[in-house]
């Protein structure tokens, strides 16, 4: 058996390069000696690769360690302006586009309306034009520093092909977003479901940075989910893992948009609560605040089913954190009052204190930052797929 030694060594070097970059991203500030201890690589090897990372403008020295005996070591961190990512959020409420740094900061952004009268590819054509314009009009030189483009979109998306199988909110079916945008823009494009981009953004920049095992429940006009286990996004056979909105909770319940009875989202999502109340969701919550019986019954029932769903998810995934996100979480926090009590009603006793409930801290730009996190996550794990 023969093999190409030079090629094999190059793959290993590339693996170590991205492994160190990933660790610097994870620990935020870390010394060369700490990297050597974590990786069990020699100080010399770490030093050579760190020099490459600095020369490539991906890493910078930011100070020295404190409290160590002897010579103080220089600290390393990701150079936020060493490279950039274009984050794109496609949503019924609008299309957001941003230039995002490697540390999750937005350097420039633009917004356009989502025109439902246009075909999918007309919308993508306008999006590609807006991306080009944002790059060209940037106040700082982007040059060749753009790593790739990330796209966050609701609905069912194939991975890594980036084809949208179905987006009910847009009435899109079988749309090759990745292929179309790559042809128009000449950049690599990553496309994924918006709930996965939210959990990735929080794991890289937000409330779950130091968490290896987390699940996200996203509540808006529908209900979705995503999971990170052992630090890796889990997708399932068809990239559909996390479609918890269509778990059957009540076999004789209300009709879901999918055509089945009693799906979880018929109890939680804003559109279904509006159907049951025959009122806009904001009026439902105003009535809830006034302690009107009908609103109390409706939202207490929603909280009860959410607690039941979380307890089931905890049994399946045993996460350290359950992240609650989405428009309903942001706009109507009253829905989640005393949620822990509801969860403890149903959760298996050995798991009662095994997790915490977290909320996103990134805010209104979570869509584009999440899309950029999708790219950064793939960039940092690139060598693991290639080795």
How does pLDDT run across 222-257, given as a tens digit for each residue? 899 999 999 899 999 888 898 898 899 889 888 887
Model confidence at 1, in pLDDT bands (50, 70, 90)? Answer: very low
Query: CA 328, CA 299: separation in Å to the nearest integer?
Result: 12
272/290 same-domain check: yes
170/230 same-domain check: no
214/317 same-domain check: yes
Name which of 53, 12, 13, 1 is nearest 32 in CA terms: 53
88/72 same-domain check: no
215/338 same-domain check: yes
Pair 46, 20: CB distance under 8 Å: yes
347/217 same-domain check: yes
Which CB contacts under 8 angstroms, 24+ apart, belong to 294-299?
Answer: 298/273, 299/273, 299/334, 299/335
Q: Is residue 66 part of a domain?
A: yes
Q: Is 107 helix (H, G, I), strand (E, B) or coil?
A: strand
Contacts of 353 (CB under 8 A, 6+ apart): none
Rounded to an integer, what is the distance from CA 94 to the centroid of its chain?
A: 18
Pair 73, 90: CB distance under 8 Å: no
Would you state the structure tokens that stand for residue 161, as one six-digit string? Answer: 């092909």
Q: Dihedral, CA atoms, 49, 51, 54, 58, nearest 10 degrees?
A: 0
The pLDDT, as a whole number, for residue 189 is 95
50/14 same-domain check: yes
For the entire predicted model, the pTM comes to: 0.83
249/351 same-domain check: yes
Q: Is residue 122 part of a domain?
A: yes
How does pLDDT run across 294-318, given as a tens digit for each residue?
Answer: 999 999 999 999 999 999 999 999 9
Average pLDDT for 153-165: 93
Of 30-39, 123-132, 377-386, the one with minimum mean pLDDT is: 377-386
Q: Give the CATH number of the domain where residue 55 resides.
A: 1.10.10.10
The pLDDT, as a whole number, for residue 380 is 74
The pLDDT, as a whole number, for residue 382 is 53
The pLDDT, as a whole number, for residue 291 is 93
Considering 54, 78, 102, which residue would you say is the last residue of a domain? 78
Q: Is residue 325 part of a domain?
A: yes
How does pLDDT run across 83-92, given as a tens digit for each residue?
Answer: 899 999 998 8
Pair 319, 355: CB distance under 8 Å: yes
Model confidence at 258, in pLDDT bands (50, 70, 90)? Answer: confident
Q: How far is CA 227 from CA 199, 231, 245, in A?
A: 8, 10, 14
125/227 same-domain check: no
Q: Is residue 205 part of a domain?
A: no
Mean pLDDT value across the chain? 87
- The count of domains in the chain is 3
- 5 versus 362: the higher-pLDDT residue is 362
Per-residue buried b or exposed e for 186-212, using 16+ beta carbons within 10 Å of the residue's own CB: ebbbbbbbbbbbbbbbbbbbbbbeebe
Model confidence at 221, in pLDDT bands (50, 70, 90)? Answer: confident
189/92 same-domain check: yes
323/371 same-domain check: no
Q: Give the CATH number of the domain where residue 275 resides.
A: 3.30.420.40
Model confidence at 68, in pLDDT bands (50, 70, 90)? Answer: low
Q: How far is CA 143 from CA 105, 139, 251, 277, in A?
A: 18, 12, 56, 53
Contacts of 287 (CB under 8 A, 6+ apart): 279, 294, 295
Q: Is residue 136 part of a domain?
A: yes
Considering 17, 49, 78, which residue would you say is the last residue of a domain? 78
Considering 43, 58, 78, which residue would you say is the last residue of a domain? 78
Contacts of 102 (CB under 8 A, 6+ apart): 25, 58, 78, 79, 80, 82, 83, 84, 85, 376
Q: Is residue 204 part of a domain?
A: no
Query: CA 74, CA 300: separation in Å to the nearest integer?
Result: 54
The pLDDT, as a whole number, for residue 351 is 93
Query: CA 30, CA 75: separation in Å to the nearest integer?
Result: 5
Model confidence at 387, in pLDDT bands (50, 70, 90)? Answer: very low
Residue 249, φ and ψ in degrees, nearest 5:
-105, -35
230/118 same-domain check: no
Q: How far is CA 193 from CA 43, 96, 118, 278, in A?
A: 41, 15, 22, 30
Q: Within the chain, what is the greatest distance between any pair of CA atoms?
A: 77
Domain of residue 40, residue span: 5-78
Q: Is residue 267 part of a domain?
A: yes
* DSSP-assigned letter for residue 256: P
């Amino acid at each position: 058996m023969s093999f190409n030694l030079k090629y094999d060594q190059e793959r290993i070097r590339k693996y170590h390069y991205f492994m160190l970059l990933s660790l610097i991203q994870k620990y935020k500030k870390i010394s060369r000696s700490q990297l050597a201890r974590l990786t069990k690589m020699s100080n010399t090897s770490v030093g050579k690769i760190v020099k490459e990372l600095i020369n490539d403008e991906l890493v910078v020295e930011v100070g020295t360690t404190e409290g160590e005996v002897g010579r103080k070591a220089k600290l390393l961190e990701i150079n936020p302006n060493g490279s950039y990512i274009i984050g794109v959020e496609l949503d019924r409420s609008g299309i957001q586009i941003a230039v995002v740094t490697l540390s999750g900061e937005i350097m420039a952004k633009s917004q356009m309306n989502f025109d439902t009268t246009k075909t999918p590819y007309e919308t993508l054509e306008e999006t590609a034009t807006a991306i080009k314009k944002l790059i060209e009009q940037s106040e700082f030189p982007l040059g060749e520093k753009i790593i790739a483009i990330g796209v966050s979109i609701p609905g069912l998306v194939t991975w890594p092909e980036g084809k949208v199988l179905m987006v009910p909110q847009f009435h899109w079916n079988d749309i090759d977003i990745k292929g179309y945008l790559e042809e128009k823009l000449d950049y690599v494009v990553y496309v994924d479901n918006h709930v996965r981009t939210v959990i990735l953004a929080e794991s890289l920049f937000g409330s779950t940075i130091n968490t290896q095992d987390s699940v996200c429940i996203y509540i808006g006009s529908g209900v979705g989910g995503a999971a990170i286990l052992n630090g890796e996004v889990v997708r399932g056979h068809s990239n559909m893992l996390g479609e918890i909105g269509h778990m059957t909770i009540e076999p004789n319940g209300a009709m879901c948009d999918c055509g089945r009875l009693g799906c979880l989202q018929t109890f939680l999502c804003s559109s279904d609560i509006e159907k049951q109340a025959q009122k806009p969701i904001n009026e439902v919550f105003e009535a809830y605040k006034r302690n009107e019986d009908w609103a109390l019954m409706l939202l207490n029932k929603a909280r009860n089913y959410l607690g039941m769903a979380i307890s089931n998810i905890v049994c399946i995934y045993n996460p350290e954190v359950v992240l609650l996100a989405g428009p309903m979480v942001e706009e109507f926090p009253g829905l989640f009052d005393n949620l822990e009590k509801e969860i403890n009603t149903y959760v298996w006793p050995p798991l009662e204190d095994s997790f915490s409930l977290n909320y996103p801290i990134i805010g209104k730009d979570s869509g584009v930052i999440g899309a950029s996190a999708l790219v950064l996550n793939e960039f940092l794990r690139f060598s693991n797929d290639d080795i």
